[in-house]
Structure 1
């Protein structure tokens, strides 16, 4: 199998520099319209696809991002590995603005989003005990270090609904829960990537200390935007190093991310809904 890297760019990242043979392409999805066209190209001999999560010009709020259409579109283009890049707040003094955190766990507090490709007529249960791919996360960590970024390996991401930032009481509670960073977009994205059998890594770019911090107070949007711009440049540098680390040839995922649907579908074949099955052609075609 050939490696095909998908980059989902978060706030402040609406394009990707350094791609050869760049082309913005429209992908039709039965799950709706993706956030934007997808940018295809190559870097160091490896095919890559870039999707701006919020759309160019930041059109979609965290709640309205078409997560299912985005993951389905990446799957239809043959993406094998997704690197999610997103802005976040920090609950840890040592995870400072400008640092990157390679997330390995999530607490999902979102409530207004469709979180699965499956449902009535085709029920499936996948494990997200370990929601990110260690192999892909290790590559992101190495790429970040090589780029001179302060990178923290491992962290728990609290996914909130938004679009408002946390109250101080909420911030202190999440910190007490053991969360390390907070953001609004990695859920249900990580869950959907697992259902689509695509390896997924999350790179959280710290823009601020959340409102728990006694010396920083409420989140200052002006400061967040300034840090976002610097983080965007760092992210581009990190991403440019990934193709050489991952290589053009891809073996099966040693952690089973690309086989997540084996034994996951519960609905008997004679009870499955043909309309839903048709929508699942890209996501679950391997097992259906």
Structure 2
């Protein structure tokens, strides 16, 4: 049995339901107790696979927790408690380079992390996890093949810049990120990848371009970023995400 955990965000809140419908499977709601609070999970369990879903912006009052206020330790602890063979982070990004355009899905290859908080499970005894190869090459290859086969796209060498949010970046910040080597910008992948590395669980990030980064729209560099449009583009990619995860179910051996 392959066990997959999927972490998703605001533009893909229907993902577990769509996935269960595509597989004709039932959804099970769980809560994982952690020292950072109870974390809600949704589970699909069949004979040959198990998928757990975590909505990273969950809150106790059904509001959307903003990216800078997410308790990533509770989230990753809960995800790790399902004993996944692979964790799939689904990250909405703004496109800086032409490597990805709004509506594209790509695979992260590395991160430049500008988070202003040092995320770790180890605040008492020093622990230094290796981050030389952040993302699982076997899973990257499987998903790259399915993206190329079905959609003719498979960019694998995407560098993600992690910024704090919740505001979108300024054009000058985007220009600086590009000079540092970033292709896209995001607000959640950095902390997740750091904590997952401490758990030594294989990890990949599907970066879903939902908008041009500030100042990068080829039609007009002054066009503002509209969050509702960002969410709409993200939600339009849900079926493609399902194809990617299905390819892991069928091909990711452990």
TM-score strictly above 0.5: yes
Do the aligned residues in 2 keep the contact of 1:97 with 1:209 (CA within 8 Å)? yes
Superposed, which structure 2 residues align to 1:191-210 within 5 Å?
191-210=194-213
Alpha-carbon offset, residue 143 of structure 1:
3.3
Counterpart-to-counterpart distance in 2, 1:186 and 1:155: 13
- Contact kept, 8 Å, 2:28 with 2:43, in 1: the verdict is yes
Residue 61 in 1 paired to residue 66 in 2?
A: yes
Q: Residue 49 of structure 1 aligns with which residue?
A: 52
| Cα deviation 1:66-100 (Å, max 9, x = unaligned) | 21111111211212210000110011124111111
Q: Is contact 1:53–1:65 with CA below 8 Å preserved after alignment?
A: yes
CA distance in 2 between partners of 1:244 and 1:165 (Å): 37
Match of 1:116 among 105, 113, 120: 120
105, 120, 128: which one aligns with 1:100: 105
- Distance in 1 (alpha carbons) for counterparts of 2:185 and 2:214: 11
Aligned equivalents of 1:53 and 1:129: distance in 2?
25
Greater fraction helix: 2
The aligned residue for residue 240 of structure 1 is: 246
Pairwise CA distance, 1:173: 1.0
Q: Please tell me whether the aligned partners of residues 11 and 86 of structure 1 are also in contact (alpha carbons under 8 angstroms).
A: no
For residues 242 and 194 of structure 2, the distance between their equivalents in structure 1, rounded to whole angstroms, comes to: 25
- State how 1:63-102 maps to structure 2 within 5 Å: 63-102=68-107
Distance 1:215 1:18, change over 3 A: closer
Would the aligned equivalents of 2:160 and 2:184 in 1 still touch at CA under 8 Å? Answer: yes
Q: Describe the superposition over 1:109-142 as per-residue Cα deviations: whole angstroms up to 9, x where unpaired.
A: 111x45100022x211111122212122222222
Distance 1:241 1:58 in 2: 32
TM-score by length of 1: 0.78
**2:226 maps to which residue?**
220
Cα drift, residue 55 of structure 1: 2.2
SS in 2 for 1:175: helix
Tell me, in whole angstroms, the C-alpha distance in 2 between the residues paired with 1:234 and 1:216: 29
Q: What is the aligned length?
A: 243
Structure of larger gyration radius:
1
Cα contact 1:44–1:244 (8 A) shared by 2: no
Question: Once structures 1 and 2 are overlaid, which stretch shifts more, 233-242 or 67-76?
Answer: 233-242
Q: In the alignment, which residue of structure 2 is the partner of 1:230?
A: 236
SS in 2 for 1:49: strand
Structure 2 partner of 1:29? 34
TM (normalized to structure 2)?
0.88
CA RMSD of aligned residues (A): 2.0
The residue aligned with 2:160 is 157
CA distance in 2, matches of 1:172, 1:194: 29
More strand by share: 2
- Say if 1:220 and 1:99 are closer, same or farther in 2 by CA, change over 3 A: same
Report the Cα distance in structure 2 between the residues aligned to 1:142 and 1:110, rounded to whole angstroms: 32
SS state at 1:12 partner: helix
Q: Which residue number corresponds to residue 280 of structure 1?
A: none
Q: How far 1:7 sits from its partner (Å)? A: 0.5
SS of the residue 1:68 aligns to: helix
Contact 2:161 2:184 in 1 (8 A): yes
8 Å contact kept, 2:11–2:232: no
